[in-house]
Every structure is written in C-alpha cells, then in structure tokens.
Structure 1
Amino acid sequence: MRVERVLLKDHTTLGVGGPAELWTVETREELRRATEAPYRVLGNGSNLLVRDEGVPERVIRLAGEFQAYDLRGWVGAGALLPLLVQEAARAGLSGLEGLLGIPAQVGGAVRMNAGTRFGEMADALEAVEVYHEGRFQVYLPEELGFGYRTSRLPPGGIVTRVRLRLRERPLEEIQRRLAEVDAARKGQPKRKSAGCAFKNPPGQSAGRLIDEGGFKGLRVGDAMVSPEHGNFIVNLGRATAKDVLELLRRIQEELPLELEWEVWP
C-alpha cells in the first residue's frame, strides 16, 4: 500500500482539484485497512470535479489485484474500461462496444452506470462484488437499481470486481459496431475535460440546449464551454475548480439541467 499527499488535479481528467491523501491499495486486506477512516474512492478521475480546497477524507485508489482481469471470469474494478473494450473485441467477445471511448475504470463505470446512446455499463454486467462494512458481497445487476447515469449501491460501498455478460460474435461484426460508435463520438473535444457535464433531459440533448442557449465558447479563466460540443467544459491549461463551477452556475441559471459529474466535496 502506498500513501502520499497529492494534488488531485494531477489525478483527474479535467485537471483541476486540490490536495488529498491518496491511498493506493493492492489487496483486500489493504482495502480493509484503508477504509478504517472516512474515505472517498477515486477511479480514473473522469466524470469528477474536485474543488480547489481538496478533500479531508482519505482518497482510495484500487490497484494490484483490483486491476487484474479475466474477460470470461472476474474483472477487477481498477481495470481500465477502454482496455477491456479492445481486449474483448480481439477475443471475439461482444457486449462492451457501446462503451467505447469512456475513459473510466470499471468500478467508476459501474457506480455511475456509464454509457452512451449505444449502451450502458449495466447492460454488460452479470454480477458485481461490493465491499461494504467489512464484507465482500456479490449482487446481481437487478439488485443495484441501475438507471440513467446512476445506481443504488450500498452507501459507502466500493465496487471491487465484476463478471461481464459477453457473447461470442464474429470479429467483423464487432469491428463494425466499434466503428459505428467511434464515428458518433468524433465531435467530442480533445482537450482536458471530465466528460459530459450534464445529464440529457428526457427526449432532449443537453449539448443542443447549451448550444441553442449561446453558451458555446463561454469562458471563465482557463475553463471554457467547448466550441465543439456544448456539454463539455474543457481546461485550456490552468483552469481552477472555481472557474469551472462558475461556468456551471451560469449555464444552470438559464437552463434546467442536472449535473452528471460528481463534485468533491
């Protein structure tokens, strides 16, 4: 186990966030020890906005045995989703194609039911193991209340591994599906971001609403509403959480949009 004082801006895809004590755990026993005090769990740092003041709790990151995976067996929650999408395709296993391009670890993708219009994480799950109050318990997907960018994991529960629901398919079929998903994501910005900032209202597109509201290109400090896709806020280099929060405030002042990101604290 490694414990270090870090700036979370160096551990999030948006590149903002203040100080925290980062506990990198590699075994189940280390996870037990790390959760003996108040904690938060950090995945790949996407879909997350950390305030400039940082967080007082321990921040736990899963590594070691939690990154190991067997596509036909258990997959660690610390495994990278983009890697699994590609590995499954090479193995002729279908079920993850709709998650192409999501820069998450498996645990974070389960917690928020990450997805695109082509599919969600819940669609690919057969079972989920969760560590909660000193016990490792296995749940079926239907027990975890998955919805649009949400789940009902036990409070404080940590996803530790999953079994995926994958099916053998011809490689050409899988590649066609991946190409279709990739083509649909071409308009997304390449600069630092945390992914889509807002949930899509029923039957509508948050990005389109932001575009129609004239917010594209709006800038506060080094934080900017992407000119390429209105539902992305990008870091031009030295953005702070304060800059990003002000952009979010201005948008929500005019539009009834629900934030998709998690905000710490």
Structure 2
Amino acid sequence: MTATTPSRTGVRVERLPLARFTTLGVGGEAEVWFAANHAQLAEAIEAPYRVLGGGSNLVIADAGVPERVVRLTGELAGRDLEPDPALSTDTEIVTGWVGGGVPLPGLIRTLQKLGLSGLEGTVGIPAQVGGAVWMNAGTRYGEMFDGLHTVEIVTPQGTRQVTPDDLEWGYRQSGIARGEVVSRVRLRLTRSTPEAVLEKMTHADEARKGQPKMKTPGCAFKNPGGVSAGKLMDEAGLKSTRVGAAMIAPEHANFIVNLGGASAADVHALLDLARERVGVPMELEYELWPERG
C-alpha cells in the first residue's frame, strides 16, 4: 500500500477504497483527507484534489483517482439552525452556518421537526449539503437553491461568500466551478409547522416510490429537452439490461443499480449502451471520476 502524505495541521489522512463512500459501491483507492476545520481544508487542497461528500451521483473508476480526496468532517460537518436575529423576520428565518459535510437527509428531518419550510422537496436525496448545493440537487418538488441565503466557497486562492444572486444556477447546476469547495451555507427558510412540512415531504416522497432501493448513484441522465430520459430508455427496451453485476433498474430505466460486485467498467458499458440505443443526445447526471473524453 502506498504511504500517505503527512499533515502539518492534523488532518487524518488514509489510503482507502472509495467504493465505501459512494451510494453505488464502486471505486478504487485514493488518499483520503478528512478535513475538520478551515485550516485543515486549506492544507488538504494545496495539492491536486477532489471533494467527496455523500457519494451519490458519482461513478469512480476501478483504479481510483490520483488526486487527494477531501471529506469534510468536524466543524465543517456541524450545523447551527438558530435564526439570525439580524436577518430573520416573523415569517422567514436565516440560519447560522451549516457545514458542507452535513448529511442532507438528517438535516431535512430536523428542519421538519422545527417547522421550517423550503428544502422539503429534496427529501430522500442521499447527499451531503456541500455536494447537494454544488449540483443544485433536487426533485420536481424543489431544489437546494430554494432554501439558500449564503454559500461559502473555498479554493486554493482563498475563501469567499456569495448569495444565489451571484451565481448562474439552474437545473442541476449551481454555477460553482468544478474544484471549488462548498464549505458552509446559511439557509433561508419559511416559518411553518412540523405537520405542514411533513405533508409536503410525504407528497414529494410518494413520487419516489417507483425508484429502486438497491445501490445506485441516482438518475443516470438529465432529461433531454424536457423529455423524460427514463421514458426514452424504457421505450428503447433497456429496463433490466445487465452488464456484469450492473443493471438498468426494472423499476425505472434511468437508474443503474449494483447487484453486488459491479465494477465501474460495467456501469460505463451500460451508459454507453443506453446512449447508443436511445439515439438522442443525453447528458450524464452522474459525475465521473476521472472524467472520460
């Protein structure tokens, strides 16, 4: 096993298989840096790096990646949901800082119990806050930018804070450049009741009933031109198509699942086959590590 790089700020550094950090469960080894504060994060990104959050929407090569892989922990996975009195009103609150390493599902459950509305449309997305903001994760019932006030972005050049108005965000994209780290955010939410928020969450969650429950990165392709990618793949007869231990889900054609022991090569083969069969240009929703030409 290759020796890991020593840290001067106390970052925990280990060489680990990345499959354990992804919802698909594939991916080779890399040097993983667990950054617990801003000083550690600054050191972690001094060399070529990638940031790995909840591991959804991601397919990592079987050989892993040569760059450092950064995960946000400690202070950067903490959350302060107390209303900022200077920015909040009787109907709307702006929270304290929520770390990019905070798991989104747990955050959504807590907001529901507090009766805070704005992000319930993201219910069920297995991401961390930073990654969910970076790709503006969401469903047809809502997306991350519905509930953002401020985004803190860290790069090797320094740290800056921006608002959604500063970014060119839209469907499944935030306008935040690849390699920029969403370290923390502040949320803008509407005061409601736990019962009302739960009702919205339940409605959004009902739409996910037809999605597979096995290991999957999520939807494979963005909807081309407003047409459902899943419908196009279903019409192409792709449901239940297998390559190795990877399969296009029988429940929903726009999901690839790991039947157990799948490789990234299996998944890439299915993606290529889907594009060939559908015959319509389809843009990946998955991020590929490393990128393919």
TM-score where L is the length of structure 1: 0.98
Is 1:136 the equivalent of 2:159?
Answer: yes
SS in 1 for 2:285: coil
Provide, for residues 156-214 of structure 1, a one-character-per-residue CA deviation record: whole Å limited to 9, x for no partner.
31111001111111222111111101111111111000011110122211111111110
Aligned to 1:24: 34
> What's the CA shift for 1:66?
0.6
Give the letter for the 2:153 counterpart: V
Aligned to 2:14: 4
Question: Of the candidates 111, 123, 129, which is equivalent to residue 88 of structure 1?
Answer: 111
Is 1:249 the equivalent of 2:272?
Answer: yes
Quote the Cα distance in structure 1 between the aligned partners of 2:287 and 2:165. Answer: 23
Work out whether residues 42 and 156 of structure 2, in 8 Å CA contact, stay in contact via their aligned partners in 1. Answer: no
Work out whether residues 45 and 155 of structure 2, in 8 Å CA contact, stay in contact via their aligned partners in 1. Answer: no
Question: Of the candidates 210, 235, 239, which is equivalent to residue 258 of structure 2?
Answer: 235
SS in 2 for 1:70: coil
Is 1:47 the equivalent of 2:70?
Answer: no
Work out whether residues 69 and 75 of structure 1, in 8 Å CA contact, stay in contact via their aligned partners in 2. Answer: yes
Aligned to 2:212: 189
Work out whether residues 52 and 240 of structure 1, in 8 Å CA contact, stay in contact via their aligned partners in 2. Answer: yes
Provide, for residues 22-54 of structure 1, a one-character-per-residue CA deviation record: whole Å limited to 9, x for no partner.
111101111111111100000011100001111
> What's the CA shift for 1:155?
4.8
Give the letter for the 1:127 counterpart: T
Aligned to 2:70: 60
Quote the Cα distance in structure 1 between the aligned partners of 2:266 and 2:226. Answer: 30
TM-score where L is the length of structure 2: 0.88
Q: Which consecutive residues of structure 1, in runs of 5 or more, have no partner in the other structure?
A: none
Quote the Cα distance in structure 1 between the aligned partners of 2:103 and 2:63. Answer: 28
Aligned length: 265
Quote the Cα distance in structure 2 between the aligned partners of 1:254 and 1:219. Answer: 14
Question: Superposition RMSD on alpha carbons, in Å?
Answer: 1.0
Question: Of the candidates 206, 221, 228, which is equivalent to residue 198 of structure 1?
Answer: 221
Give the letter for the 1:157 counterpart: E
Provide, for residues 113-140 of structure 1, a one-character-per-residue CA deviation record: whole Å limited to 9, x for no partner.
1000001111111110001234221001
Please show how residues 51-200 of structure 1 align to structure 2 within 5 Å.
Answer: 51-71=61-81, 72-200=95-223
Structure index of larger Rg: 2
Q: Which runs of 4+ in 1 moved over 4 A?
A: none
Work out whether residues 32 and 134 of structure 1, in 8 Å CA contact, stay in contact via their aligned partners in 2. Answer: no
Give the letter for the 1:63 counterpart: T
SS in 2 for 1:53: coil
Question: Of the candidates 16, 20, 25, which is equivalent to residue 15 of structure 1?
Answer: 25
Aligned to 2:233: 210
Q: Which consecutive residues of structure 2, in runs of 5 or more, have no partner in the other structure?
A: 1-10, 82-94
Quote the Cα distance in structure 1 between the aligned partners of 2:141 and 2:175. Answer: 22
> What's the CA shift for 1:145?
1.2
SS in 2 for 1:202: helix
Work out whether residues 144 and 152 of structure 1, in 8 Å CA contact, stay in contact via their aligned partners in 2. Answer: yes
